[in-house]
């Protein structure tokens, strides 16, 4: 597979990197608290020659309960520390020994290396010494023999800066994406630790590789005060009417159709709303901004439906009537503008959206907005804990949408113009760390949660 872009430059200092190419106000810029000390798991990889462990890579990672326990897991705050052990039965020419962290993006038709962070551990040839790297070793004169151990520690940057053209404006910053498998996104983002032993001019280099999982630490901002109080007191969430700062209300939708194939009706979906993960004092801004959710939590929803026809309203406001889903979209942009990264050709590939979760609804209590011509439904979408977060690297995008697919009911026949699906779709980021404050549980009673499971 041919690379679609030139090799990226080395990562710049982390303090000049934004969270994304464009600043996302839904994601908090507050520093993430350092993780508490956890049990460390040791990992060892060997390169065998003549029945002996000739080259050994040893390193530690925090213990992780998810996935394969033998697969190392690192986050952006965790350094990769270990050692390289070289065992030589006799004298040998070794020009250099280095260890690198490499990040790669690939699909059936694309490949690009977006990250390379290298530490040189040993150098005997001045032409191989790279003084631009941190802590370059002293040049060793002569041949090596016996056993040698070199410790190393690599702190992954928060992001990388990639040059798409020749001008400064063509440089773009990206936060390091999470590890992705084909099953998750139809693409593969892979991280690996590579030890390279460079020998004489006529000898083949030796490489020892260890794959690992990387997770960026992203969190939403604090929710509204009323939502935090409801979580602390284990009370139902207040809806958009009582907590306008806590909800993002979508445009009203109008449905037309017939009931029992005889009587024409008109119903208005007044509000499709979901909780804002921002604590803002300006109500106007809180309405304008989208939401942001942490995997492993729930997305609270409110659906308000009104109609002058009470019989039809009773049918359309049943918890089984609306279908609202969290969907994942993976896209490769074949051609992008080098300055703005905007797609300049329709020749992009978006794989069929995947349904990540479906809302479970319940009818609101009588005193929470219901009236003879208005019905309120409360719902939750559970985000699986292993959902990869939203990311954007080079020309690959992994995004999520909350999609109101349709509203169906027995004996209700929508008109031709009301049959369009989906009815509405809203882009929302998925992140990895809960917002500061109380953890929010599902707002649905246990009987509803068990049905959704």
Q: Does 335 share its domain with 263?
A: yes
215-224, 261-270, 432-441: lowest mean pLDDT where? 261-270
Does residue 55 lie within any of the structural domains?
A: yes
Q: Does 447 share its domain with 359?
A: yes
CATH of residue 51's domain is 2.60.40.640
* Domain limits for position 385: 225-452
Q: Examine the fold and report which residue of 187, 215, 243 is the final residue of a domain before the chain moves on.
A: 215
Q: Examine the fold and report which residue of 189, 215, 241 is the final residue of a domain before the chain moves on.
A: 215
pLDDT beyond 70 at 50: yes
Read off the pLDDT of residues 294-332 as tens digits, 9 standing for 90 and up: 999 888 888 888 887 777 788 888 899 888 999 999 887
CA dihedral 392, 393, 395, 399 (to 10 degrees): -20
Contact criterion met (CB below 8 Å) for 53 and 86 = no
The pLDDT of 33-39, averaged and rounded, is 53
Q: Does 196 share its domain with 273?
A: no
Read off the pLDDT of residues 167-196 as tens digits, 9 standing for 90 and up: 566 678 899 999 998 666 678 999 999 999
Contact criterion met (CB below 8 Å) for 376 and 362 = no
Does residue 135 lie within any of the structural domains?
A: yes
Does residue 156 lie within any of the structural domains?
A: yes
Higher pLDDT pick, 408 / 271: 408
pLDDT at 348: 54
The pair of three-digit structure tokens given for residue 289, joined into one six-digit string: 């901004």
The helix (H) or strand (E) run that includes residue 231 is: helix 225-232
pLDDT beyond 50 at 19: no
201-210, 262-271, 310-319: lowest mean pLDDT where? 262-271
Q: Does 75 share its domain with 174?
A: yes
Does residue 163 lie within any of the structural domains?
A: yes
Q: Does 290 share its domain with 180?
A: no
Q: Does 96 share its domain with 230?
A: no
Does residue 344 lie within any of the structural domains?
A: yes
8-17, 152-161, 246-255: lowest mean pLDDT where? 8-17
Query: How many distinct structural domains can be found in the chain?
Result: 2
Q: What does pTM read for this prediction?
A: 0.80
Does residue 245 lie within any of the structural domains?
A: yes
Q: Does 317 share its domain with 445?
A: yes
The residues, ordered by sequence, that sit 6+ positions from 43 with a Cβ below 8 Å of its Cβ are 58, 59, 60, 61, 70, 72, 82, 210
The pLDDT of 400-429, averaged and rounded, is 79
The pLDDT of 117-136, averaged and rounded, is 90
Q: Does 43 share its domain with 188?
A: yes
Read off the pLDDT of residues 348-357 as tens digits, 9 standing for 90 and up: 556 678 999 9
Q: Does 194 share its domain with 265?
A: no
How far apart (Å, rounded) are the C-alpha atoms in residues 431 and 389?
5
53: which strand partners?
Answer: 48
pLDDT at 66: 62
Contact criterion met (CB below 8 Å) for 5 and 174 = no
Q: Does 130 share its domain with 268?
A: no
Distance (Å) of CA 256 to CA 267, 316, 374, 412, 418: 6, 12, 16, 10, 6
How far apart (Å, rounded) are the C-alpha atoms in residues 336 and 188?
20
How far apart (Å, rounded) are the C-alpha atoms in residues 232 and 437?
9
pLDDT beyond 90 at 127: no
- Please spell the DSSP secondary structure of 247-295, one letter per residue: EEEPPPEEEEEEETTTEEEEEEEEEEEEE-----S-HHHHHHS---EET
pLDDT band at 77 (very low <50, low <70, confident <90, very high): confident
Does residue 122 lie within any of the structural domains?
A: yes
pLDDT at 213: 93
Q: Examine the fold and report which residue of 154, 180, 215 is the final residue of a domain before the chain moves on.
A: 215
Length of the chain: 453
The pLDDT of 136-149, averaged and rounded, is 90
How far apart (Å, rounded) are the C-alpha atoms in residues 214 and 103?
10
Read off the pLDDT of residues 145-163 as tens digits, 9 standing for 90 and up: 899 999 999 999 999 988 7
User: What percentage of the chain exceeds 90 in pLDDT?
Assistant: 26
The pLDDT of 322-344, averaged and rounded, is 68
Q: Does 430 share its domain with 386?
A: yes
Q: Does 197 share its domain with 282?
A: no
């Amino acid at each position: 597979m041919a690379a679609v872009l030139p090799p990226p430059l080395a990562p710049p200092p982390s303090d000049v990197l934004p969270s994304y190419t464009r600043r996302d106000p839904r994601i908090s810029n507050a520093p993430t608290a350092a993780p508490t000390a956890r049990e460390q798991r040791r990992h060892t990889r060997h390169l065998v020659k003549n029945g002996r462990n000739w080259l050994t890579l040893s390193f530690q990672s925090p213990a992780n309960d998810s996935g394969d326990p033998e697969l190392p897991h690192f986050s952006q705050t965790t350094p990769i520390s270990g050692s390289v052990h070289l065992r030589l039965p006799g004298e040998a020419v070794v020009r250099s020994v280095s260890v690198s962290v490499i990040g790669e993006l690939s699909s059936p038709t694309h490949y690009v290396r977006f990250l390379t962070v290298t530490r040189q551990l040993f150098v005997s040839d001045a032409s191989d010494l790279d003084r631009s790297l941190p802590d370059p070793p002293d040049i060793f004169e002569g041949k090596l023999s016996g056993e040698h151990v070199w410790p190393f520690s690599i702190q992954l940057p928060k992001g990388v800066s990639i040059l798409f053209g020749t001008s400064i404006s063509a440089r773009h910053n990206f936060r390091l994406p999470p590890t992705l498998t084909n099953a998750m996104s139809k693409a593969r983002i892979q991280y690996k630790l590579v030890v390279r032993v460079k020998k004489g001019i006529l000898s083949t280099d030796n490489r020892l590789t260890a794959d690992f999982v990387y997770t960026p630490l992203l969190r939403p901002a604090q929710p509204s005060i009323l939502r935090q109080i409801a979580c602390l007191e284990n009370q139902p969430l207040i809806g958009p009417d009582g907590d306008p700062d806590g909800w993002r209300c979508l445009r009203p939708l109008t449905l037309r159709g017939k009931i029992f194939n005889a009587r024409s009706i008109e119903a208005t979906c007044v509000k499709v709303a979901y909780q804002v993960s921002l604590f803002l004092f300006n109500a106007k801004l809180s309405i304008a901004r989208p939401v942001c959710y942490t995997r492993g939590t729930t997305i609270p929803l409110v659906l308000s439906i009104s109609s002058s026809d009470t019989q039809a309203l009773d049918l359309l406001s049943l918890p089984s009537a609306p279908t609202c889903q969290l969907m994942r979209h993976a896209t490769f942009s074949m051609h992008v503008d080098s300055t703005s990264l905007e797609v300049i050709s329709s020749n992009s590939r978006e794989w069929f959206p995947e349904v990540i979760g479906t809302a479970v609804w319940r009818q609101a209590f009588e005193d929470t907005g219901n009236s003879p011509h208005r019905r309120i439904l409360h719902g939750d979408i559970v985000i699986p804990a292993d959902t990869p977060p939203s990311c954007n690297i080079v020309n690959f995008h992994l995004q999520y949408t909350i999609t109101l697919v349709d509203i169906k009911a027995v004996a209700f026949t929508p008109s031709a113009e009301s049959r369009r699906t989906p009815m509405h779709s809203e882009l929302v980021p998925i992140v990895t760390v809960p917002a500061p404050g109380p953890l929010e549980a599902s707002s649905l009673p246990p009987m509803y949660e068990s049905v959704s499971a």
